[in-house]
Structure 1
Amino acid sequence: MLAEGVRSSFLKAVQTIQAAGAELLTGGQAGGGVGVCCQNTLLKVSAAKFLQHPEVFQTEAFGNGSLFVVAESTDQMAELAEHLEGNLTGSIYSDTQGADDAACDRLEKVLRTKVGRLLNDKMPTGVAVVSSMNHGGPFPATGHPGFTAVGVPGSVTRFGMLQCYDAVRQHRLPAVLQDRNPGGIWRRINGQWTTADV
C-alpha cells in the first residue's frame, strides 16, 4: 500500500462490500511484515445480489483485492455489464475456437462503452508506454480535465473516448484495426504512420 490512509480506505471498502452481502473468501485484514501492507483479499457475490445494489458493490477498494461476481447466464452477465461504472479495463475470457462468439460480441458491445482498455483472454496487468495504450476510461475511471471547450479541433476531442484493444482476436476487432487494411486508411503501427497491411 502507498500509505496508511490508502490501507485504511481499502479495509473500510472491503467491510462495506462485505456488509452489503459479499462473502469474504480470503484476506480482508492488515498484513504483517515491513511497511503498510494488507492481506491479498478476495470476495464473492452473486449477480442477483450485485444487481440489487450495484453502487455499493462498486465501492472503490484501491489495493490488492478483487470481487468475483457470479452470473448464472449470458443474459445476466450482459445485465451486469450494463450496471458497471466506468473502469480502466475489461477482460473477456472466451472459447478460442469461437463457440461463444455471439455471447462475446454481446458483452463486448456493452463493455466497449464502460472501459478504456478491452482485453481478450488476458489479465490487465502491464501498461506499456506506447501511443496505442490507454490508461483511462469513462468516469469515474478518469475525469480528464485537459480538453478545451473552445476551438476546433481541440474542443471536439472532449466528446470522444480513447479506446484500446489489447490481445483482442482479429475477427473481434473493428475492421479499421484488423491486420488487413483494404481501405488504405492511415494508421499508426509500431510508432510509424502507414497505409500498409500489418
Structure 2
Amino acid sequence: MSLTSLLHRLARPGLARPGLVTAALAAGALALSTTTATAAPALTQISADPYTNSTSQHAAEVEPDTFSYGSTIVSAFQVGRFTDGGSSNVGFATSTDNGTTWTKGFLPGITTQAGGTFQRVSDPSVAYDAKHNTWLISTIPITSSVAVPEVFTSRSTDGGLAWSNPVVTATGSSLDKNWIV
C-alpha cells in the first residue's frame, strides 16, 4: 500500500486515529526527505593489508585508535589479525590536511613481517606530545599468543608520516590494554 493510499484510508470517518496518522505523516516526511537527499560522499580507502602469511586473517584491519591535533589526524590499527590475538603488524594512516589526503604505512621493527623479532603485535594506541611536536604509537609485542611483558612505543617527529623502530616504555608481568597520553 502506498503512503498516499494509507493516508486516504486513515482519513475516512471512524478509521482515523491521531497517533497512527501522525506516524504515517512522519513516515511520509521521512520518505520525502530520503528521496531528495544528495549523494553520499565518496569513501577514501586509507590502508590495505599487504601481508600474505598463512597464519593470520588478511584484508582485515581492526581495533583502530585515532587522535587528532590541529589539522593532523593519526590512526593506528592491527593488520592481518590472528584469531587468537594480535596481528601481523600495526598500520598507520596520517592526514595533515584534516582528512583530505592520507599517508599510510606500517610500523617498522616490531614483527617478523616488518624487520622485528616478534611473531605478533597488538593494542595500538595513539597520542601526540605537543611540547616536543612528536606523535606516539604504543603497542604490545606478542610471541605466539602470549603477550611479552613490555609496552613498545614508536615515535614520529615529522608529523606522523614516518615512524621509528620501537623502544620499550613499560615493563611488567601482566601488561595488557596499554594506553598512551
TM-score when normalising by structure 2: 0.24
Tell me which protein shows more strand as a share of its residues.
2
Q: Which protein is bigger by CA-based radius of gyration?
A: 2
TM-score when normalising by structure 1: 0.22
Tell me which protein shows more helix as a share of its residues.
1
